[in-house]
Structure 1
Amino acid sequence: MEPDQETPPRVRPGPLWWLAYAMGTGLPERHRTWVLYDTTTRTWVWRHVARTLVQLAVPIALVLLLVPGAFWIRGLSALGGLILGMAFSLAYMTEAVENRVKKAGYAPGSAQAVRDRAGRVRDARDSERRRAAAAKRAARYRDRRAR
């Protein structure tokens, strides 16, 4: 199914399903449109960061709790892992998001296409708003010059 076709209502997953989704599991069919929304909304980057932090929480907790040694060494090790994990995640963010969309049953590239289309609509709306503001300023200027 392509993203421009009529879609069923968006059903947000519950906390346990979201946790599984954040860890990389696919969601049931009823959450399909929510996955596309999750990966294409204006906050999609922050949502990706949140999912990454959930994924990194497990190894960081294990390092902090189970590795022997001084806590500051474990803490710095965990911080280093967090920095490297976030860098890797951000470097491959679009690929990871497209993989989530593909797991939900959409064609590869669907999320980027939806984001691009939304960007064009947003740009057109902003352009029209700026054009209207410029016309308003020009009219004000003409009124002042006419006096």
Structure 2
Amino acid sequence: MTGPPSAAPTTTAAATTRPRTPEATGPVRVDVMVLPRTVGGDPATELASDYGCPAPTQSLPDPPPGPTGYCFPALQPLLDAVLVGKVPAGEAIAAAERSLWAQLPAIPLFQVVSVLAVTNRAAAATGAGPGPLITGPLTGAQRWQPIG
């Protein structure tokens, strides 16, 4: 790679996800997993750890997936390049994020903010309303009801 990409990687290869446990106990369908994310470290390392494709080795031909179970082979060269300093971190992260938003392997559910805007419909479903965010927008999520 001679420089930063001008756009998100494109390919016909599909992204893959694998369950984190090797043995299934029966037919299980997972629609959403809520997982912690590492923060506060090197952003390039965090990005590669969360979304990189672990390379097989002779001693480990089928390496375990990262914490998200997500692997998009077209993104791996960019992740490798940023880790070794061939591509500036800011540019690589921006390109990777464009690709990740298109694939949606992870959706941020919570980010610290001081303002919460909700529609009347969302307020009816969640019970969230105007006011300061003392404990976060997901407080009371267990009581949310589908509407419409």
TM-score (norm 1): 0.27
Query: Of Structure 1 and Structure 2, which has the larger fraction of its residues in helix?
Result: 1
Find the structure with the greater CA-based Rg: 1
TM-score (norm 2): 0.27
